[in-house]
Amino acid sequence: MAPSKVNSAGDASVSCSQPENGFLNSLSLLSSEKAVQELLQQSPLQSTDDHLIEFSDAMRTVAKALRRAAEGKASAQAEAAEWKRKYELERARNLHLEHKEQSHRENNGDEERTENLGSPSNEQSEHCCGSNGICSHEVLRDGDRDSASKVVPNKFARKASFKLSWCCKGDQSDQHKHDIVSFERGNITTAERSSKQISLKWESQPQTVIILTKPNSTSVRILCAEMVRWLREQKKLDIYVEPRVRAELLTESSYYNFVHTWKDETEIILLHTKVDLVVTLGGDGTVLWAASMFKGPVPPVVPFSLGSLGFMTPFHSERYREYLDSILKGPISITLRHRLQCHVIREAAKNEYETEGPILVLNEVTIDRGISSYLTNLECYCDNSFVTCVQGDGLILSTTSGSTAYSLAAGGSMVHPQVPGILFTPICPHSLSFRPLILPEHVTLRVQVPFNSRSHAWASFDGKDRKRLAAGDALVCSMAPWPVPTACQVDSTSDFLNSIHDGLHWNLRKTQSFDGPRDT
């Protein structure tokens, strides 16, 4: 480099001008002054720039090393915090189970325990599945016994009896099963629940109807007033509407003073005990709004199509008298649309039972990155088994009714709404091999934001009630025990196929012509 050359030249001139006795003569002074003047005349910018570049590179290297050390420390702290949290959760769960087992032993008493020890078959039966199981207590055999209780020769002696049970995890589980397992000579056959159409027959005449309408629509307001008058005069029904709709009806005429409404959330919670039928006037959004009002059991819903696009609204408003008359007489075909039950568990929660919720969704729950520029980083578990880590724009957990909504736009499959399952659909994943999944209805899904995530995530439920998920927070989803029964115009399968044909123009193309060559 230039500075080293200059310094070596200067040192050489000084050393050669020094005599052995250590004194400088005039010639050496003149040469030294000349060398200094040459140095002063040279521009020092080049050497200074080179030094600054070297110093900048060195500082950049030091900064990278410090950044790596800080990231390693943060990762270690996050991992330690995660292990601590898991330890606390496991410890709380063990204490809960221990307390439950101790109280159960105290309630049973010594006498009951003695009886259980004397009857091992009962003990084994209760240990198998308790009250949730379906048992076959009969001895199944291929031959008859004679009067002396001896097996007839050349025939099998007996076939072992067995018991099947639904394995619900703990008393906190809200997973209810309604399938039937039948036993025929020891062979298992399942009830074909999903492949059968469901029919609803009134045991008593409906008395009360609630009408829910799409807001800010003149045509819907006119139809609602006409329908309320017809149901009151012709069918003698009690009618409930929203407070907003009742105010609109009374503004139009005092005749509608008989219409009922509610005042607060307490009365909304008790609506399912008063209402026999729900009528919606709007699109799919109105059906979602109707479902969100009922946090528990939902009365049968009759959805009329008055929106722009509807997959759950098979009835046309022009023939509402004909449809309602047939539905009130019964029987009617219905579709049981499953809902997801969601809980948010914060990182500061002391145990897994300290949650926010439950929140019921009919379409889907979406976890996305919001306005952040970073990819989402979500750890996904299915029944405590690790599934994958989602890196992308987000994740959709959808019901089969919501398979034609956001999940379909993100690349998910269209699924018949009566198929019991949960759709696991990534949103713009940062991986070419990340394909959607369809999981069974009985699983519990947990989506957690890891501690080393670059940013937080956002969860929305049927497009509303948006919640922020920070590092360590988790979202737990399972199938809710209360589906939404919607009336069918024909049956569930015909209505579903008609909706994707009319709404999506599914597989609509020109038919191939027949004017080409034919096989002889």
Q: Is the Cβ–Cβ distance between 223 and 281 less than 8 Å?
A: yes
Provide the 3-class DSSP secondary structure of residue 132: helix
Strand partners, 213: 281
- C-alpha span between 381 and 399 (Å, rounded): 18
Half-sphere exposure of 397 (CA within 13 A, CB side): 30
Half-sphere exposure of 435 (CA within 13 A, CB side): 3
Burial class for 402, CB neighbours closer than 10 Å (0-12, 13-18, 19+): buried
Smallest CA-to-CA distance from 240 within 249, 370, 134, 8 is with: 249
Smallest CA-to-CA distance from 348 within 475, 473, 448 is with: 473
Mode of pairing for the β-strands spanning 484-487 and 332-337: antiparallel
Active site (annotated) includes residue 110: no
Q: Which two tokens stand for residue 364?
A: 């889907």
In the set 276, 284, 368, 473, the catalytic residue is 284
The full length of the chain comes to 520
Burial class for 382, CB neighbours closer than 10 Å (0-12, 13-18, 19+): middle
Q: What is the b/e burial string over 215-226, where b = at least 16 CB atoms within 10 angstroms of the residue's CB?
A: eeeeebbebbbe
Task: Tell me which residues are annotated as active site.
Answer: 284
